[in-house]
């Protein structure tokens, strides 16, 4: 059996949990709002959302969606339009998201931490005509200066129980609590529309729109972009419906209408949007919704609401494994604990299991794969692996600069094929052709990730192609150096980049955060010596810079892009 045949034989299937299958029955005529309507009809009396104690049932949330859709239609939103959501996690996000899709329009989610420059790019690039905005974020929209037909403003306070409303902005955390809220006079002067006034004004009778799931775009989520401006993946209703059914097939023990999930992952990001919001609302789960990830509130909610699923990012588990109050939760009672959006380090896994007696199921996904492509099977986790392909996904490894399949166990670029793969990059013909390639008549996505698959069919991440450092002709992956740094008992966090140098190509630089007790006691030379003992000579960083903290992406990854930009100035 040659390399290609071995990948296509899907050796990972034998590790699927009992009841799971690679065969996924994806209805081709079902849209995203169609899934939500079905869930609302079946679980009408069940809580869809708890928002700081405020209960909203499926019947109520669906009526709110229909009211808002009716209002949007009256404002001129129609099939094919783009509606931008610039919101924190709140019930209005769910309402606006599904109301937009019900009209055959598409959503483009904008990160709440974006600057006016970044907002301007996304609004213009996505052809957005309507913006639904958190009141505290509106100043950035005004500074962006993009002409829009309508801007709709809402507050997180609207759906809080009366007692919690008294706390006001304290729920928003330090990053948002200081921001300005437009006054009624300012809203009137700018022609802004109040979200709640739309809900109150319009009946739950939106126009019926015929949606073609395979052709109509549901979402334009933007990728982070390490160089240049971010670009959007084109995700259809079929992509979104498919991934819900694929997730359901992989975790057959998660029952529709019965699960309770902690939803603190930001909905603007594909991970939180698909795994928490879309999967939860379309399957009748109850979401315990958080605007900001307050650890105390989350731990209390897990126990109070008897949560059965918890999805987080590595930095969350890294914090929880040492947090003094983590013991308050009996983690072994949860059906599934998932982790994604960044590499989960072995030290975190080992400490978590020793502390809680429970397993973290690491997974992998991209904006381009509708959020998910891999996961460790239930109770068959393999340390250091992001798991196996989810049902209906094909995965293989090819040469990073070609299309030949590499032998199992060797590193190369991961390619993926399946019903959850994006259609293209929005308005990016060249990037689409470079990323979506044809191999023997089948469409594959080049992920840009350097990966290998072991004999069992588990995949192991090595690094991003774009993070390759060239030093004197040698190829050095930042991830390899970082893994060694993380093995140092006094190093808490690390980020490695290449600093351009005309003599050697790139000088390897490591940004290091020490544990508090080690600061001032460990020198740059100590770190270099540790690297010398554990790395080939050409992989040893030539520059060590200590930091109190490292820049992070929206979902908690160390941002090599920002570190690289800083390194260019060295």
User: For the whole model, what pTM was predicted?
Assistant: 0.86
Burial (CB < 10 A; 0-12, 13-18, 19+), residue 75, is middle
Answer yes or no: is 57 within a domain: yes
In a domain, 363, yes or no: no
- Return the CATH number at 517: 3.30.300.30
Tens-digit pLDDT profile for residues 361-404: 999 999 999 999 999 999 899 999 999 999 999 999 999 888 99
- Is residue 370 included in any domain, yes or no? no
Mean pLDDT of 478-500: 90
Please indicate, yes or no, if residue 386 is contained in any of the structural domains.
no
Is the per-residue pLDDT at 476 higher than 70? Answer: yes
- Structurally, the chain folds into a number of domains equal to 2
Q: Answer whether residue 9 is part of any domain.
A: no
Mean pLDDT of the chain: 92
56 inside domain: yes
Answer yes or no: is pLDDT of 555 > 90: no
Q: For residue 141, is it within any domain?
A: yes
Q: In degrees to the nearest 10, what's the CA dihedral of 198, 200, 204, 205?
A: -60
Here the tokens at position 99 are 């109301």
Residue 388 counted as domain residue: no
What CATH number is associated with residue 138?
Answer: 3.40.50.12780
- 153 band by pLDDT with thresholds 50, 70 and 90: very high
DSSP state of 269: S
Helix 237-250 and helix 32-42, axial crossing angle in degrees, nearest 10: 50
Give the end of a domain, one of 312, 346, 369: 312
Please state, for a pLDDT cut of 90, what percent of the chain lies above it: 80
pLDDT for res 254: 97
Closest CA to 322 of 344, 355, 296: 355
The residue among 295, 312, 329 that closes a domain is 312
Q: Which of 271, 286, 312 is the last residue of a domain?
A: 312
CA 523 to chain centroid: 36
Spatial CB neighbours of 442, under 8 Å, sequence gap ≥ 6: 417
Cβ(367)–Cβ(219) below 8 Å: no
pLDDT score of 569 more than 60: no
Q: Which domain holds residue 542?
A: 472-567
């Amino acid at each position: 059996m040659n390399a290609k045949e071995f990948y296509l034989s899907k050796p990972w299937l034998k590790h699927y949990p009992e009841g799971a299958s690679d065969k996924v029955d994806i209805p081709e005529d079902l849209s995203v709002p169609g899934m939500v309507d079905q869930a609302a009809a079946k679980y009408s009396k069940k809580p869809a959302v708890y928002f700081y104690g405020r209960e909203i049932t499926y019947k109520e949330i669906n009526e709110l969606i229909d009211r808002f859709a009716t209002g949007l239609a009256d404002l001129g939103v129609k099939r094919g339009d783009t509606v931008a959501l610039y919101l924190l996690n709140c019930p209005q996000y769910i309402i606006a998201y599904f109301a937009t899709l019900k009209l055959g329009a598409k959503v483009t989610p904008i990160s709440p931490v974006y600057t006016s420059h970044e907002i301007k790019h996304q609004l213009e690039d996505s052809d957005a005509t309507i913006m639904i905005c958190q009141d505290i974020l509106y100043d950035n929209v005004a500074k962006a200066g993009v002409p829009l037909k309508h801007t709709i403003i809402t507050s997180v306070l609207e759906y809080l129980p009366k007692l919690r409303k008294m706390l006001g902005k304290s729920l928003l955390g330090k990053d948002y609590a200081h921001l300005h809220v437009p006054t009624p006079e300012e809203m009137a002067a700018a022609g802004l529309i109040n979200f709640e006034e739309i809900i109150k004004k319009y009946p739950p009778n939106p126009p019926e729109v015929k949606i073609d799931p395979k052709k109509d775009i549901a979402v334009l989520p933007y990728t982070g972009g390490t160089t240049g401006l971010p670009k959007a993946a084109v995700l259809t209703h079929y992509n979104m419906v498919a991934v819900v059914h694929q997730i359901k097939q992989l975790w057959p023990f998660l029952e529709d209408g019965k699960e309770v999930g902690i939803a603190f992952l930001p909905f603007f990001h594909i991970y939180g949007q698909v795994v928490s919001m879309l999967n939860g609302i379309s399957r009748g789960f109850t979401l315990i919704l958080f605007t900001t990830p307050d650890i105390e509130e989350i731990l209390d909610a897990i126990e109070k609401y008897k949560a059965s699923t918890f999805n987080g990012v590595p930095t969350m588990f890294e914090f929880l494994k040492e947090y003094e109050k983590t013991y308050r939760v009996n983690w072994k009672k949860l059906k599934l604990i998932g982790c994604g959006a960044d590499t989960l380090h072995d030290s975190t896994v080992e400490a978590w299991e020793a502390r809680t007696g429970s397993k973290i199921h690491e997974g992998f996904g991209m904006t381009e794969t509708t959020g998910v492509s891999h996961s460790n099977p239930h109770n068959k986790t393999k340390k250091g692996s992001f798991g196996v392909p989810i049902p209906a996904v094909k995965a293989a490894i090819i040469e990073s600069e070609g299309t030949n399949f590499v032998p199992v166990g060797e590193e190369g670029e991961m390619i993926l094929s399946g019903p959850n793969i994006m259609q293209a990059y929005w308005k990016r013909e060249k990037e689409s052709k470079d990323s979506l390639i044809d191999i023997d008549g089948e469409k594959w996505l080049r992920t840009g990730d350097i990966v290998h698959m072991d004999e069992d069919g588990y995949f192991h991440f090595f690094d991003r192609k774009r993070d390759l450092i060239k030093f004197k002709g040698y190829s050095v992956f930042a991830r390899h150096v970082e893994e060694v740094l993380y093995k140092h008992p006094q190093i808490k966090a690390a980020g490695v980049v290449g600093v351009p140098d005309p003599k050697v190509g790139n000088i390897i630089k490591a940004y290091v955060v020490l544990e508090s007790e080690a600061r001032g006691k460990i020198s740059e030379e100590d770190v270099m010596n540790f690297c010398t003992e554990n790395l080939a000579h050409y992989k040893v960083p030539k520059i060590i810079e200590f930091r109190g903290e490292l820049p992070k992406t929206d979902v908690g990854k160390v941002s090599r892009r920002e570190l690289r930009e800083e390194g260019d100035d060295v």
